[in-house]
Structures are given as structure tokens and as C-alpha cells.
Amino acid sequence: HHDPALLPFDISNLIETYDTDGVFEGSLSLTRKYLELYPNAEDSFDKRIKIGILYQRLGYYDQSVLHLQALLDEAGSDLEGEIRYYIGESNYYKGDYQQAILDFLKVPYLVTKKGKIDWTANSLYMSGQSYEKMGRSDQALTMYKQIVERPGIDETFKAAARKEIVRVNAILKKNPK
């Protein structure tokens, strides 16, 4: 006999397992099912964000952006920072680097508290990557330097940013403007 109260928990665990195994189609249909069955679950907003991320993982970048943008109005500032980050990522993978930068650079202003993931450091890093894709190494350097200089960012991020700075400087020396 199955305890019905356990079902949302079971489905959530299965979704996580699918994600870890890279079975994003399965994860997407299960997440949709979960929201159908438990529209008022306390993690339903997180699950809706997850759908946008899964669209991205599956390569549906436009769909991901539209889905996530629709959630912005309901999000508090910290969640808005997270959502903006993923919108930026989708635009980046789509090759729309200019738009990605606009999305990423909103994130540091939105995030107020430090969660498990440092959205600010990630966003500055991805902005740097975007600038590089556009051939703007000098702007990329500015982004990586911000990671190094900004207080409250974990040392591992700062170390990674320093490596990027060394790498980009080497490229600039080879091809001076």
C-alpha cells in the first residue's frame, strides 16, 4: 500500500535521478506531470523554473527564454536573479551574446543573499565568456577582474578568474589591437 503523501516526494526524487543521468526528456515530462498533480505544492515555483532549465538542456533555447521570462513577475528578487541567469545562459547557447550579457549583468543587482550557488560570480564569468565570443577581450578582462575584486565571492571563483585573466592577456599580447 502506497502512502499518497509520499508521492510528490517520490516524483521529485525520480526527477532528480533523471537529471543526474541526463535523461532530460523524462525529467521534463515528469516535472510537467508533477505540476499538473500538485499545482499548489510549495516547490511548484521551483519546478516551473526547472522546466525552463530543462528546455535549455534539451536545446530549446527560445522556448526556455520565453518560459523563464514569464516567471519573472512572480519571482522575488533572489529568484529573479537565478531566473535571469538561466535566461542569459539560454541566450548565450543560442549565440545571442549581446542579449546574454544584458541578462547576466542584471543578476548582481538582484541577488541579495548568498545561496548554494553564487549567481553573481557565475554571471560575471559568463559575461566574460560572452564578450570573448564577440571578440571583445578587453571587456572580458573587465568582467574577470570584477570577480577578483568583488568582496564576498568565494576564493575558488577568484582563482578561476585569475586564470582567465592570464589566458586572455596572453591572447591580447599575441594579437595586439
Q: Does pLDDT of 5 surpass 60?
A: no
pTM: 0.87
Return the pLDDT at 168: 95
Mean pLDDT of 26-43: 92
List the grid coordinates of 60: 530549446
Look at residues 45, 115, 55 and name the one whose alpha carbon lies nearest to residue 89.
55
- The residue whose grid cell reads 512572480 is 74
160-166 contact pairs (CB < 8 A, 24+): 160/125, 161/124, 161/125, 161/128, 164/125, 164/128, 164/140, 165/141
- Lowest mean pLDDT of 18-27, 30-39, 85-94, name the range: 18-27
Q: What is the pLDDT of residues 55-86, one digit of tens each?
A: 999 999 999 999 999 999 999 888 899 999 99
Q: Does pLDDT of 1 surpass 70?
A: no
Give me the chain's average pLDDT, please.
90
**Amino acid at the residue 112:** T
Look at residues 99, 45, 48, 33 and name the one whose alpha carbon lies nearest to residue 76.
45
